[in-house]
Amino acid sequence: MAGGGTAGAEVAGVADSRLAVRAPVILDRIEELAWRIRLSTRRLLLIVASVVAATLLTSSVAAGWVAARNGDTIADARMSGLDVARAAVELRNNLAAADAQAASSLLSGGLEPQATRDGFVRDLTAANAALTDAGLTARASDSDDIEILAAGLTEYGGLVEMARANTRQGFPVGDAYLGQARGLARNDLMPTADHLRRVGEQRVARAANSVGGPVSAAAVAGLVIGLVVLLAGSAIVAGRSRRLTHPALLVATIVLVVALGAVTASILAQSSELRSAATTEIDAYVAANEAAVTVSNLRVTEINAVAAHGSGDAFYDDFSTNAADLEPLLEDGATLDAVRTYTDVVESEVRPADLDRGDNQAAAANTLEGTSADAFRAADTATGEAVDDAFVDLRDRFDRAADVAIPAWLPIILGMVAAVLAAGGILARGRLYR
C-alpha cells in the first residue's frame, strides 16, 4: 500500500512538472512570434491598443444596430404581416358566414327568421370591422386591396338588401340581386381577402429570413473577429512582457465572450421562433381558416339543394364531397365532432326528406330553424373558435420572438467596457517600456 502511494505521488509529480515545463515553452513560442514584429515595445503596444479598441467598438456598435434592426423587423412583421393576415382572415370568414345567412332568403321568400337576419347583420358588421383593422395596419402597397374590399362590402350589403326587398314583394328579380351579391363575394371579395392574407404571411416569412439572414450573421462574425483581435493583442502583450495573463485583458475577453454569447443566442432564438411561426403555426392557422370557410360554404350548398325543390341531387352530392374533403383539415376533438354532427344531420334528415320523401317544406323548415340550423351554428362556432386558438398560438410565437430579443445597448455597453479594459491594460503595460 505504501509503495502504491509513493508511486502515485511520483506520477502526479511528473505530471505537474510537465505542466510546469509546458507553460514556459508556450510563452517562449509566443515571445518569439511577438519579437518578429520589428517595432519598439512601447510603439507596438500603442498600435495594438488602438486596433483592439477600434475593432471592439466597431463590432459591438454593429451588433447593437443589428439587435435594434431585428427588433424593428419583428414589430413590423407583427403589424403589417400578422395583423394584416389576421384581419384578412376575419373579413373572409365573416363574409362567408354572412353569405350563408343571406342565402337562406332563397328558402324564406325574403322573410327569413329574425335570428338569421341578426346573424347576417352581425357577420357583415364584423367583416367591416376587420376591414378597418386591416386598413390601420396595412402598408401603402396594400391600398388597392383595401379599396376593393371597402367598395365591395358596401356594394354587397346593398345588393343583399335589394334582394330581400324584391323577394318580399314576390319579384323574381330578387334572386338575381342575391346571385349578383354572392358572385361579388365569391369572385371578387374573398379572392382579394385571400391575397391580402398571403401578403401578410409572406411578410412574416421574410422577417424570419431577415432575422436569421446575412446581416445577423455578419454581426456575430464581427464580434468573433473582435474576439480574435483581442486574443491576438493579448498574445503580443504576453510575448513582449513575458507574462502569460494580464487581469485587464482577461476580464475584457470574458466581457466580450458574454456579448458574443448574448447576441448569438438572441439571434438564433428569434430566428427559430419566427421560422416556426412562418411555417407550422401559419399552416395550422390557414387550415383552421379554410375549415371555417368550408363550413359556411357547406351551408350555402345545403340551402341551394333545398331551394331546388326536389331537384338538388347535384348540390347534395357536392355537399357530401366537400364534407369529406373537410375532415382531414380538422383535428380530433370538439370541432370535428360539431362538423360531423352538422353534416350527418344534412345527410340523414334534410336530404331524405327532400329527395326520398318529397317533403321539401319539411327539409326547408329543418334547414332554416330545425336541427340542421342548430347543428350548423354549433359547427360554425366550433370552427371559429379553432381559428381563434390557432391565431393565439401564432401570436404567442411572435411574443416569444420579441421576448428573447436583447436591448440594443447591451452589446454596445459590453463592447465599450471590453475596449476600455483592453486598451487600458495594454497601454498600462506599454508605459513600462521605451
Per residue in 85-114, pLDDT tens? 999 989 988 898 888 888 776 666 556 667
Q: How many helices (H) and strands (E) does the chain have?
A: 17, 0
Q: Where are the domains of the chain?
A: 36-430
C-alpha distances in angstroms, 261 versus 54, 182, 254, 327, 418?
Answer: 20, 57, 10, 46, 14
* Cβ partners under 8 Å of residue 231, min gap 6: 253
Q: List the one residue out of 283, 198, 213 whose CA is nearest residue 66.
A: 213
Give the percent of the chain with pLDDT over 70: 86
Three-state secondary-structure class, residue 245: coil
Q: Which secondary-structure segment (H or E) carries 39?
A: none
Largest CA distance in the chain: 117
* Cβ partners under 8 Å of residue 159, min gap 6: 177, 178, 180, 181, 184
Q: Which secondary-structure segment (H or E) carries 123?
A: helix 114-137
The pLDDT of residue 178: 82
The pLDDT of residue 15: 41
| Residue 165 · residue 174 · CB < 8 Å | yes
Give 239-245 contacts, CB < 8 A, sequence gap 24+.
239/27, 239/30, 239/31, 239/32, 239/33, 239/34, 239/35, 240/31, 240/34, 240/35, 240/41, 240/44, 240/45, 240/429, 240/433, 241/429, 241/432, 242/27, 242/31, 244/23, 244/26, 244/27, 244/30
**Could you read off the pLDDT of 187-241 as tens digits, one per residue?**
899 899 989 998 998 888 888 888 888 999 999 999 999 999 998 888 887 766 6
Query: Which segments of the chain have a pLDDT < 70?
Result: 1-41, 105-113, 239-242, 244, 430-434
Average pLDDT, the chain: 84
- Count CB neighbours of 311 within 10 A: 12
Determine the distance from the C-alpha atom of residue 239 to the mean position of all C-alpha atoms in its chain, rounded to a whole number. 52
The pLDDT of residue 24: 63
The pLDDT of residue 281: 87
**Integer distance in angstroms from the first to the last C-alpha of the chain?**
59
Torsion of CA 223, 62, 237, 40, to 10 degrees: 140
CA 257/CA 218 separation, integer angstroms: 16
